[in-house]
Chain A
Amino acid sequence: MFKQITSLNGNEWYLISSLWMFIIFFITVAILLIKMKKQHMDYMRHLPLEDEPEIPEELTEKN
């Protein structure tokens, strides 16, 4: 599948450095995630649900 990656004529530096950039970035985000508290997560998850009342019952669609 990745046959093309083995013959880059010296340009593999670009590919390897790109992947390293992503790995470092990904690990940084993962560490930030691990450090976050569950309480904050739960609060943030529920944000969209607390913003407005639902359509009144008497207006429930009849069709």
Chain B
Amino acid sequence: MQLETFNYDNRIVRNFGIATIFWGIVGMSVGLLAAIQLVWPFMNFESPVTTFGRIRPVHTNAVIFAFVGNGIFMGVYYSLQRLLKARMYSDALSKIHFWGWQLIILAAAITLPLGWTTSHEYAELEWPIDVAITIIWVVFGINMFGTIIRRRERHMYVAIWFYIATFVTIAVLHIVNSAELPISAFKSYYIYAGVQDALVQWWYGHNAVAFFLTTPYLGLMYYFLPKMANRPVYSYKLSILHFWSLIFIYIWAGPHHLLYTSLPGWIQSVGVVFSIMLIAPSWGGMINGLLTLRGAWDKVRTEPTLKFMVVALTAYGMATFEGPMLSLKQVNAIAHFTDWIIAHVHVGALGWNGFMTFAILYWAIPRIYGTPLYSKRLAGVHFWIGTLGILFYAIPMYWAAVVQGLMWKEFTPEGVLKYPSFLATTLQILPMHMLRAVGGGLYLSGALLMTYNLVRTMRQGKLIANESAQAMPLEPIQFTEKSKHRRLERKPVLFMVVALVVILIGGMVEMMPTFMISSNVPTISSVKPYTPLELQGRDIYIREGCVNCHSQTVRPFRSETARYGEYSKAGEFVYDHPFLWGSKRTGPDLHRIGKKYPNKWHFDHLMDPTITSPGSIMPPYPWLIEQKLDTTTTVAKITAMRKLGVPYPSGYEYQANGDLDQQAKAIAADLKASQVNVSPDKEIIAIVAYLQRLGTDIKVTEK
């Protein structure tokens, strides 16, 4: 056996690093704009493409898939080659992966502001982009497994297990949650409806957090933290235990996003129990990380990379304790739909993902450029600005959440809601929203400082595109290893299959009964499909991103039924492709809004919300009055809905536009009687029709 000489591909690491920085600044800037609009809605510049409902998914997608996504690939491409002592399997695949991923992000940045969205949170991209994501993800997988197969290190280090689990689980989540029926190039309907759609979405949404924001970062932590501290990981046994427990348990916890909804109670309970259990493996990772620093805490004082890592791990510990606590029904009853969830998410995103990404950038860029960091002092300033940013972000959000959550639930001694106006509770927390924007601004400033520091670092060095390395080739195996896990550590395909089985168990136990046992979603005979005009209005509601601020599910609490009306039933959503329950109440719930106010109220409210609700932070939607409703899609929409099981009569699609015109004219006539002149072919007529229909099928039954 001769020592082999080979090269590590640092160019791909550099490319993903630059993309991480660029998209990070874009994503954070859009987030800051969204935060400012929650205080001053006119900051949408009166344009639909920069209005909150459309830019909120731009922010979340940019931060999750562009900033964190590129950060994952940067770290994986750096560590994988070195842990396996092999260059990436194919330079061509690396390039296809890089440019394909950037094009997907660009497509998202163009389509989401245009309102081309599926409305599923963190999966808003329409079907052609979903297909592209699948292809590029497979390219990444081939490149990763090709490298693993050509390795010069027999056993796969724990970081690589996390990368494998990430690859396989994200593939499963993305495919299942992207099951859509296209009706045009950029419009589709999910094949699932109502409760089932909600379960699939939050199985996906929760595990996108788990397997995109957590497991790859744990893998990165297991590689980069020992490097930064120059200490081996504290306990390899703990890493094994926490890896398998984490991927097994995480997948079950999604239903905690749907507590007190019409999701079957047993699934909610399973979600709660597994969420509580999740503390153990999550903290296993955090403790393993922090204890890796034993004997190296003096370095934390001087090394900015370690400072970032310590806060990242602490934020991970806080977020993974808080998550299970929020899953307790009693806590969830107050915290859900409030800013608490926003604070929780941002402790994880800003602290865990953001800070670890910064640490890796500060660590890797100087090394691949063969030069020291331009300024440690600037990196230190970045650390403190960023930490202050997190505090200024999270603390006001917790404060706002407790204030608003309690105000929603407070009754007077006479037994009526103390704050019947939802707007009063919103106005109460606006100062907290202002402080949150300050926090976001601080965090962004830190990122800009880092960009300057890293650009100067790159300029003073030279990229070592092909870094030379040497290692012995793998010898043929002469004996059978006794330990089963040790054998597993050198069999990547078997490892992937075992990880796949482990993550499929939870999903199947929760989803199959919900889909196959009809008693889990009881039907209601009075619930009918939407009329063609209502269906078109619903799609405008989706396009404008109303679901980002308004929920459509009334929970069975006295405080909610007193405020909104009868609590929501599973059978009311059976024709909802997709479900629109939402996850945040910046504005009130809308499930029982139908027939609550006259058409004129809705017209005024959409034209300028401050007419009906003085002080409202909802943006005006004047373009709905100007834009003509596109009825050329009605046939395709009705046909697609029938294919998905909505009982429109055969051939109805051809008379649908006639019915649509008739209903639109009736609404326009009603508005005219209230001194509002608007043509029946405008978009606002359709969305008013949809809003007036919401939650009314149950009211029919009561009569």
User: Which A residues contact B (CB, under 8 angstroms)?
Assistant: 1-2, 4-5, 8-9, 11-12, 14-15, 17-19, 21-22, 25-26, 29-30, 32-33, 35-37, 40-49, 51-52, 55, 59-63
Contact = CB atoms under 8 A, between A and B. Distances in A.
Contact of B485 (A9, A18, A33): A33
Contact of B157 (A25, A32, A47): A47
A22 B241 contact: no
Given A40-B486, A49-B226, A14 B153 contact: no
Contacts of B374: 61, 63
Contacts of A17: 509
Given A44-B157, A48-B227, A29 B244 contact: yes
A34 B372 CA distance: 43
B interface, over-half SS: helix
B245 A4 contact: no
Interface in B149-185: 153, 155, 157-159
Listed from nearest, the 6 A-B pairs whose CB atoms lie closest are A11-B266, A61-B372, A45-B232, A51-B82, A63-B375, A32-B485
Contact of B240 (A1, A25, A33): A33
A48 B467 CA distance: 17
A51 B282 CA distance: 28
Contacts of B338: none
Identify which of A46, A51, A59 gathers the most chain B CB atoms within 10 Å of its CB.
A51
25 contacts: A4-B268, A4-B269, A8-B269, A11-B265, A11-B266, A12-B266, A26-B248, A29-B241, A29-B245, A32-B485, A33-B237, A35-B483, A36-B237, A40-B155, A44-B155, A44-B236, A45-B232, A46-B232, A48-B226, A48-B227, A48-B232, A51-B83, A51-B85, A59-B370, A63-B376
B277 interface: yes
A43 to B, nearest CB: 8
Contacts of A63: 373-378
A47 B376 contact: no
Contact of A48 (B157, B248, B489): B157
How many residues of B sit at the interface, in one of the four size bands?
Answer: 35 or more
A6 B232 CA distance: 46
Contact of B264 (A11, A12, A44, A60): A11
Contacts of A42: 232, 236
B5 interface: no
Contact of B158 (A5, A8, A44, A52): A44
A40 B483 contact: yes
B236 to A, nearest CB: 4
Contacts of B274: 18, 22
Contacts of A32: 240, 483-485
A34 B371 CA distance: 44
Nearest to B372: A61
A15 B345 CA distance: 28
Interface in B250-302: 252, 264-270, 272-274, 277
Given A55-B370, A61-B376, A35 B226 contact: no
B691 to A, nearest CB: 34
Identify which of A36, A44, A48, A61 gathers the most chain B CB atoms within 10 Å of its CB.
A48
B693 interface: no
A5 B273 contact: yes
Interface in B352-387: 366-367, 370-378
Contacts of A4: 265, 268-269, 272, 329
Contacts of A21: 505, 509
A52 B78 CA distance: 11
Contact of A60 (B372, B483, B485, B509): B372
Given A21-B505, A44-B158, A63-B375, A15 B233 contact: no
Contacts of A1: 328, 330
Nearest to A59: B372
Interface in B604-650: none
A2 to B, nearest CB: 8
Given A29-B244, A47-B83, 5 more contacts: A14-B270, A18-B506, A26-B248, A51-B82, A55-B370
B376 A25 contact: no
Contacts of B270: 14-15, 18
B703 interface: no
Contacts of B241: 29-30, 33
B482 A35 contact: yes
A35 B486 CA distance: 10
A59 B371 contact: yes
A50 B427 CA distance: 57
A41 B248 contact: no
A39 to B, nearest CB: 11
A25 B269 contact: no
Nearest to A1: B328
B232 A49 contact: yes
B334 interface: no
B13 to A, nearest CB: 13
Contacts of A35: 482-485
B513 interface: yes
Contact of B266 (A14, A22, A47): A14
A59 B213 CA distance: 34
B471 to A, nearest CB: 9
B454 interface: no
B249 to A, nearest CB: 7
